Structure 1
Amino acid sequence: MGIRMPNLPSRFSFSFHHHHHYSLLFPSTFILPKTSTTSSSKKPSTLTMSFSSSSSSPSPSPSISNPKEDSDQHRQLLTQVLKYHNQTKHSFTNYARGPHGLDWANQPNPFRRFDSAPLLPLIHLPTHDQNPSTHEDNPPPLYSSLFCSLPSPKPISISTISQLFYDSLALSAWKTTGFSTWSLRVNPSSGNLHPTESYIIAPPIDSLSNSPFVAHYAPKEHSLELRATIPSGFFPKFFPEGSFLIGFSSIFWREAWKYGERAFRYCNHDVGHAIAAVSMAAAGLGWDVKILEGLGYKDLEKLMGLHKYPEFKIPARAVKGKFSDIEFEHPDCVLVVFPNGVGEFDVNYEKLSSAISEFSELEWKGKPNSLSKEHVCWDIIYRTAEAAKKPLTIRNKFEIDTFGSSKLFSEGSYKGFTVREVVRKRRSAVDMDGVHVMERETFYQMLLHCLPSGCGNGEKQGRQLALPFRVLSWDAEVHAVLFVHRVAGLSKGLYFLVRNEDHFDDLKRATNSDFKWEKPEGCPDDLPLYELARGDCQKLAKRISCHQDIAGDGCFSLGMVAHFEPTLCDKSAWMYPRLFWETGVLGQVLYLEAHAVGISATGIGCYFDDAVHELLGLKGSNYQSLYHFTVGGPVLDKRIMSLPAYPGPGVDA
């Protein structure tokens, strides 16, 4: 991939997509060469690694050590998600199962619409602030300022709700080349396929609805489709004034059309990107956001009206045919958006769930449009989604942590952009130029914004207190192994960012014993970044990211390594998609940081899973790589022309 790719017509797509026709010429050994100079007294370690041919064989079945609910069901669900995870790994000898070419006739429509649901238009906003003097009393916040503190909250209105969607989930541009036209969105998506749908559940809003309502967001129209009106007592009973909910669902077929079995992973990356996109746009309006983690799958289904879809009967194996039911929406999560500084409030999940159960009696408007004529059902995706459904957990306490501010280590790195300017001009680079060199201070500044707890507050990294990670309700489980190619004043080589310091000793024990684990030169005290080994790892980064040049041609690339099987054993199989959400949130920060400092980034979903683990010396499933990323100077494709997002061209992508 570089998984964020436009669906160009087939004659352009060859060099972009990652299907299974590589000649797998692979040297058996990589050596990160010794360097002659070293700033530390310890000899720089070199990395010699041979990739065994067994890197494609699945890891052993889970050894479940005394889970909280030690039940057969817990075991079965866990076995299913681990089976999925191992079966969908790419390796040098074998790619995960997917289509052998793209069925363009059945490319899914990227826009879900509910036919006959009333359309409530939102306000279109200027992309750039043409006249800053109109904001003298209340200038739009700068992107970099949000990490330090949130502005004072704005009231809910048609204007602020329009702004929230415009800066998080709307179209950002149209692109055209030859006979092909496609749209881009503010929230990135694997292959630009956009499996994520979004909903708002809100109290009455002037000029939108006189009663509290549920609506689906239609990005092409930048409008809300009214699905239902809800009881007037719902919001005051459960949430503070000025709150509303945003829900997300996934249509797996959209992603599986191109990526086959691995699509479930990518759909959940996208959920994470969308969660972070909403958190950042909300922060610009002075709103805080938190996932309503206690709610279960059934609650989410009723809350968004997704119980109206017919139940999809999963076939016994992967099969092609007409399955209109496969276009259903799988509910992922619901976020509560509330005014920053509102203080503590509690959510009674038991009573909330009982109030939501009455939503199934509401009158739901609109019928979902059809996305493709024919489909391929990759059955393992649906079995895994079934295993990862979260039940209602009424013991979940809803907590609002104090805002963890992040330090501005190198304010000069940012170009004075507002939040809107950064989020709306974010693009996925198709190629990196292979020459851009990043300043070391800029590199450290970006990584400081990747920390879950903020910094400079004496907090050990782990609890998710900083923007946008504070939206998540669990401690950080995702770390990053970095391949540094071109950062001025920093040796090329392999580095590790520890995002939960409780895992530090375990990580050190679990990885290659030759690694140095030393703080690099000039590294801020509160940035837990460690140098592991020196040497040029451009070729290495490319090869383990499915031979993609983009992973070696940036300033740095990285693999996100999650604390994996112990987390699933401890919490349950429903944590599986959430680990991907966390990587998506982190990926969104990397995207925005890259654009805020004037360069670009791309998420990479195609990489050789076990080769990454072998490189680090990791055995078993305690840690697993879940997402790759590259950051650097982009190469612009001059064949592709940009058009404004609204009003876009008269034709669909």
Structure 2
Amino acid sequence: MPSLHLPSRFSSPSFPLINLTTTKRPISTTAITMSLSSSPSQSVSNNPNEPKDTENLIAQVLKYHNQTKHFFTNYARGPRGLDWANQPNPFRRYVSSPLLPLLHFPVENNQDSTSVSAPLYHSLFKSLPSPKPISKSSVSQLFYDSLALSAWKTTGFSTWSLRANPSSGNLHPTEAYIISPAIDSVCDSAFVAHYAPKEHSLELRAKIPDTFLPSFFPSNAFLIGVSSIFWREAWKYGERAFRYCNHDVGHAIAAISLAAAELGWDVKLLDGLGFKELEGLMGLGIYQGFRIPDKPIKGKFPEIEFEHPDCVLVVFPNGVNDFNVNYKELSSAIMEFGNLEWVGNPNSLSKEHACWDVIYVTAEAVKKPLKIDDKFLVDKFQNSGVCSEGSYTGLSAREIIRKRRSAVHMDGVTKIERDTFYQIMLHCLPSGCGSGEKQKRQLALPFRALSWDAEVHAVLFVHRVVGLSKGLYFLVRNEDHLEELKKVTRAEFKWEKPEGCPADLPLYELARGDCQQIAKQLSCHQDIASDGCFSLGMVAHFEPTLHSKGAWMYPRLFWETGVLGQVLYLEAHAVGISATGIGCFFDDPVHEILGLRGSNFQSLYHFTVGGPVLDKRIMSLPAYPGPSTDA
């Protein structure tokens, strides 16, 4: 029976075999000394649809990825300390844009007997309810259960907000827009609006032709645009911020998908659109003229607060699977948005800034061009597997979504049953269960929003699962990769299904042993990685995916990890425990534990799931105090 072994420097008596660099020496954070010069050297291209050297773009992505890895001996480059005086405002507002208030909803189903009960969380993975029409109420609910504030926290002299969608460092670089037909009591014509979470309101940016959406999409369909403000993350995390922004895009995609599912709506990426189309749809052409410096610099340059358009999602009634999208004609129609009257100017977020040039060079490299030949496919909804439905606490989707919190500490004691663990893993599968096909296509909630086959797997460190041996496991989310994974990982790994594992769950035991210490050390020495029930690293099929599809897949790999992370967050809360995303981990040591060489597979995101430790010094306040709320 193979067992995991680590060198004695990892202080784990049950592990001696994998020779990793020592962690005993002090870690020096190699922070950059930034020049106060602001002389630019590169211009942002205004035409990302121009042919570019694909290999050069991929080379830039690989350069960024390798440059921003954390190592035992040093971390990726970031600020030497936090510049609190210039902490970015977490709330974007468009000054002078009309503010359109949205409706609020009770969190508990029994709080208001006149309210329509939200569906149970776990029921959404089996089937979606009948679709609701577009209305002020349904659109309000979509945002309320996906991107709205979920609470305020306060301790001492500090007060901060939490949101339904999680974010690295609670910095929230993600912004959202709605492109919608006319809605009674909201706007009398089709429109584009920015979502303002602090006010739970829409900021009207422009009115658009009423014929736009019906020309390309089915009845009762609308669009949600997602963008990122890199500066918000870079303020704290430096060069690694681009990774974290794209994690957050994935979390937002999943949050929108699940909130839409409550309303009987399906969600799909319009991934044939290019950068310029996304920019036009969201009215982000106002951010022109940002020039990339040739080195990290500090200074006053408000243009760094621009929004990078990431993606657009089409939201439509579930069961409508027979429509296609003509990307060529859609692109032409979007180009006319430049002639609209756009209202409002973005607010300033900081007085001074620090620009990490490699973020913006890489963002240029991953801009996707318009793909007019892309096929827009809506597959039939595939339900997820059921192993232990009794593990769920019976809460509604809204209760789970809005009460979700990121655990700061795990108690090191809480255990879960094996069938509960298997149930969580079943909801992490992209293809669902019951079809008889292997895992590959993204057909189940919320992965079905994505437009590519699954490229992300999970290596699991199991600590406290009753009935399951402690050790290293692997969840294969695209079974086309299984044989390659067996060849490129350590020869001594077992690759055997664990006891009691459902037949349609491609989970494999690699090796047994107590892996708490190594999980902690791999995740930047954080106790949360060892004190939960299990932790994991999300390992993506990396360089081959970039070469087969393009550099633009780089952020999408992180989106997929964010979608998976959002499922883990909600699953943890649905079974009565908690979870936390971990962006800080030592990249190559994770690969060495698995025996991986080169860049065919790379770890992109870590997670931990377990019993949370609550900090009683922190007081919770309502997200939106009203007349009936005693804050």
Query: Shorter chain as normaliser: what TM range?
Result: over 0.9
- Deviation track 1:102-151 (CA, whole Å, cap 9, x = no partner) reads 0000000000000000000000111112357646xx64211001001111
Alignment correspondent of 2:328: 350
Tell whether 2:53 aligns with 1:77: no
Tell whether 2:76 aligns with 1:96: yes
Counterparts of residues 506-525 of structure 1 (less than 5 Å): 506-525=484-503
Tell whether 2:354 aligns with 1:385: no
- Deviation track 1:476-516 (CA, whole Å, cap 9, x = no partner) reads 00000000000001100000000000000000000000000
Alignment correspondent of 1:276: 254
Structure 2 CA distance for aligned equivalents of residues 406 and 164 of structure 1: 22
Alignment correspondent of 1:538: 516
Tell whether 2:596 aligns with 1:608: no
Structure 1 CA distance for aligned equivalents of residues 186 and 582 of structure 2: 39
- Deviation track 1:216-266 (CA, whole Å, cap 9, x = no partner) reads 000000000000000121011000000000000000000000000000000
Tell whether 2:599 aligns with 1:621: yes
Tell whether 2:19 aligns with 1:50: yes
Displacement after TM superposition at 1:635 (Å): 0.2
- Tell me which amino acid in the other structure corresponds to 2:109: D
- Tell me which amino acid in the other structure corresponds to 1:352: L
Q: 1:610 to 1:231 in 2, by over 3 A?
A: same
Q: Which moved more, 1:639-648 or 1:559-568?
A: 639-648
8 Å CA contact 1:31, 1:49 repeated in 2: no
Structure 2 CA distance for aligned equivalents of residues 603 and 133 of structure 1: 36
Displacement after TM superposition at 1:311 (Å): 2.2
- Deviation track 1:73-128 (CA, whole Å, cap 9, x = no partner) reads 10110000000000000000110000011000000000000000000000011111
Displacement after TM superposition at 1:404 (Å): 1.2
Alignment correspondent of 2:482: 504
8 Å CA contact 1:202, 1:244 repeated in 2: yes
Tell whether 2:155 aligns with 1:186: no
8 Å CA contact 2:87, 2:350 repeated in 1: yes
Structure 1 CA distance for aligned equivalents of residues 546 and 238 of structure 2: 24
Structure 2 CA distance for aligned equivalents of residues 288 and 47 of structure 1: 49
- Tell me which amino acid in the other structure corresponds to 2:354: V
Q: Percent identity?
A: 76
- Tell me which amino acid in the other structure corresponds to 1:230: I
8 Å CA contact 2:109, 2:117 repeated in 1: no
Tell whether 2:56 aligns with 1:87: no
8 Å CA contact 2:217, 2:325 repeated in 1: yes
Alignment correspondent of 2:96: 116
- Tell me which amino acid in the other structure corresponds to 1:114: Y
Q: 1:510 to 1:118 in 2, by over 3 A?
A: same
Alignment correspondent of 2:108: 128
Alignment correspondent of 2:404: 426
Name the SS of the counterpart of 1:634 in structure 2. coil
Q: 1:72 to 1:358 in 2, by over 3 A?
A: closer
- Deviation track 1:148-178 (CA, whole Å, cap 9, x = no partner) reads 1111100000000000000000000000000
Name the SS of the counterpart of 2:213 in structure 1. helix
- Deviation track 1:371-429 (CA, whole Å, cap 9, x = no partner) reads 00000000000000000000000110000011111122101100111110000000000
Structure 2 CA distance for aligned equivalents of residues 472 and 379 of structure 1: 29
- Tell me which amino acid in the other structure corresponds to 1:394: I
Structure 2 CA distance for aligned equivalents of residues 632 and 445 of structure 1: 15
8 Å CA contact 1:174, 1:648 repeated in 2: no
In the alignment of these two chains, the number of paired residues is 598
Structure 2 CA distance for aligned equivalents of residues 361 and 259 of structure 1: 38
Displacement after TM superposition at 1:647 (Å): 2.5
1:416 to 358, 373, 394: 394
8 Å CA contact 2:266, 2:316 repeated in 1: yes
Alignment correspondent of 1:60: none
- Tell me which amino acid in the other structure corresponds to 1:318: P
- Tell me which amino acid in the other structure corresponds to 1:51: L
Alignment correspondent of 1:15: none
Name the SS of the counterpart of 2:75 in structure 1. coil
Tell whether 2:242 aligns with 1:264: yes
8 Å CA contact 1:437, 1:488 repeated in 2: yes
2:444 to 457, 462, 466: 466
8 Å CA contact 1:305, 1:364 repeated in 2: yes
- Deviation track 1:529-555 (CA, whole Å, cap 9, x = no partner) reads 000011000000000000000100000
Q: 1:47 to 1:282 in 2, by over 3 A?
A: farther
8 Å CA contact 1:292, 1:398 repeated in 2: yes
Alignment correspondent of 1:3: none
1:321 to 299, 305, 310: 299
Structure 2 CA distance for aligned equivalents of residues 524 and 517 of structure 1: 15
Structure 2 CA distance for aligned equivalents of residues 267 and 158 of structure 1: 30
Name the SS of the counterpart of 2:210 in structure 1. coil
8 Å CA contact 2:135, 2:184 repeated in 1: yes
Displacement after TM superposition at 1:434 (Å): 0.2
Structure 2 CA distance for aligned equivalents of residues 398 and 193 of structure 1: 33
Counterparts of residues 182-581 of structure 1 (less than 5 Å): 182-581=160-559
TM-score (norm 2): 0.93
Name the SS of the counterpart of 2:74 in structure 1. coil
Q: 1:28 to 1:259 in 2, by over 3 A?
A: farther
8 Å CA contact 1:430, 1:635 repeated in 2: yes
Structure 2 CA distance for aligned equivalents of residues 100 and 255 of structure 1: 15
Structure 2 CA distance for aligned equivalents of residues 308 and 648 of structure 1: 35
Structure 2 CA distance for aligned equivalents of residues 111 and 609 of structure 1: 32
Could you say what the CA RMSD is over the residues aligned between the two structures, in angstroms?
1.8
Alignment correspondent of 1:12: none
Name the SS of the counterpart of 1:277 in structure 2. helix
TM-score (norm 1): 0.90
8 Å CA contact 1:437, 1:555 repeated in 2: yes
8 Å CA contact 2:520, 2:526 repeated in 1: yes
- Tell me which amino acid in the other structure corresponds to 2:18: M
8 Å CA contact 2:581, 2:606 repeated in 1: yes
8 Å CA contact 1:31, 1:48 repeated in 2: no
8 Å CA contact 1:33, 1:535 repeated in 2: no
Displacement after TM superposition at 1:459 (Å): 1.8
Name the SS of the counterpart of 2:227 in structure 1. strand
1:150 to 128, 142, 164: 128
Tell whether 2:546 aligns with 1:591: no
Structure 1 CA distance for aligned equivalents of residues 157 and 377 of structure 2: 51
8 Å CA contact 1:485, 1:536 repeated in 2: yes
Structure 1 CA distance for aligned equivalents of residues 408 and 334 of structure 2: 43
8 Å CA contact 1:464, 1:470 repeated in 2: yes
Structure 2 CA distance for aligned equivalents of residues 285 and 603 of structure 1: 27
- Tell me which amino acid in the other structure corresponds to 1:179: F
Structure 2 CA distance for aligned equivalents of residues 405 and 600 of structure 1: 24
Structure 2 CA distance for aligned equivalents of residues 235 and 376 of structure 1: 40
Structure 2 CA distance for aligned equivalents of residues 200 and 472 of structure 1: 19
Structure 2 CA distance for aligned equivalents of residues 131 and 268 of structure 1: 36
Tell whether 2:623 aligns with 1:645: yes
8 Å CA contact 1:108, 1:372 repeated in 2: yes
- Tell me which amino acid in the other structure corresponds to 1:92: F
